[in-house]
Amino acid sequence: MKGLAATTLSLSMIISGATLAATTEARGGNEDSSREEKITMVSPALENYQRKTLEGDLWKRQALSARDRSVITVAAIIARNQVALMPAQFALALDNGVKPGELSEIITHLAFYSGWGNAAAAIDVARPLFRQRGITEKDLPVAHPELLPLNEKAEQLRVNAVEQSVGSAQFPGLVGYTTDVLFHDLWLRPALAPRDRSLVTVSALIAAGQVAQVTFHLNKAMDNGLTEAQASEVVTHLAFYVGWPNAMSAVPVVKDVFAKRT
């Protein structure tokens, strides 16, 4: 049994240093400094960048609120299936004012935009966090809420565009689900504000290098109140979480959206 226990402990340390940190409520306390020590044991430089450049500078810039930064960080790491960062970032999101119901809805939204397996991994991380904070089903969005009203005119434009580019004759399943499940249901769920839902989608697209579809969703986010300065800062913030190359690849598309709106 001693050998087994040793194996198990080593497993814990290897797979989920971050997980253990997240299971304590004391953010900024002992566990956090222990997380920093754990990075220092491999890279004192990375620990320094995390503490000074990320926590001490990036997250404090005025261009985006801490809550918005959490929304886009959570979206990006779910889109990239970054299990190692999820426990600490999910906890931070709640601390930064993302409601449990909003985090629930972000995960649900990304099941469709990043794939079912990305949501499944996020569910496995959110569950113990919710339990620990006493968040139960009554705090979460129901399966069938009263939906937001459909913008009939914008929806007709979307339907026409998809009919032309995809076509229900050749792709009846894809076109049908896109309308029925995504745009007549998921996007109308009220637990996440339309502006935030677009922000989540844009972040997931940039995170996955799928910049072609940023145009549609960034315009939607800006129609719902995201400013140009905020959109620029979204790309800046994401650079650290999705890697510089994905951020740089998003720039021309974002600039093009800016240019066409002015």
Within residues 81-110, the interface with a second copy by CB under 8 A covers 81-85, 87, 104-105, 107-108
| Nearer CB in complex with a second copy: 8/156 | 8
Element (H, E) at 106: helix 100-113
Q: List the x/- string, 24-53, binding to a second copy by CB under 8 A.
A: --------------xxxxxxxxxxxxx--x
- Decide: is 59 part of the binding site for a second copy (CB under 8 A): no
The verdict on 118 binding a second copy (CB under 8 A) reads yes
Taking residues 152 to 191 in sequence order and writing x for each that binds a second copy by CB under 8 A, - otherwise, the string is -------------xxx--xxxxx--xx--xx------x--
Verify binding: residue 70, a second copy, rule CB under 8 A.
no
Per-residue mark of binding to a second copy, 124-153 (x: CB under 8 A): xxxxx-xx----xx--xxxxx---------
Q: Which two tokens stand for residue 172?
A: 């009846």
**Which pair of structure tokens corresponds to residue 242?**
């999705």
We find the least distance from the C-beta atom of residue 218 to a second copy, in angstroms, to be: 14
CB of 195 to a second copy, least distance (A): 20
The number of residues in the chain equals 262
Q: Are 250 and 206 in contact (CB under 8 A)?
A: yes
Sign of CA dihedral 253, 89, 198, 184: positive
Please, what is the minimum distance in Å from the beta carbon of residue 236 to a second copy?
3
Q: Which is nearer to a second copy, 59 or 67 (CB)?
A: 59
- Would you state the structure tokens that stand for residue 180, as one six-digit string? 């029925």
Q: Is 248 in the site for a second copy (CB under 8 A)?
A: yes
Residue recorded with tokens 């113990």: 128
Six-digit token pair at 239? 């650079």
Cβ count near 163 (within 10 Å): 13
Distances (CA, A) of 51 to 72, 77, 97, 168: 19, 19, 21, 51
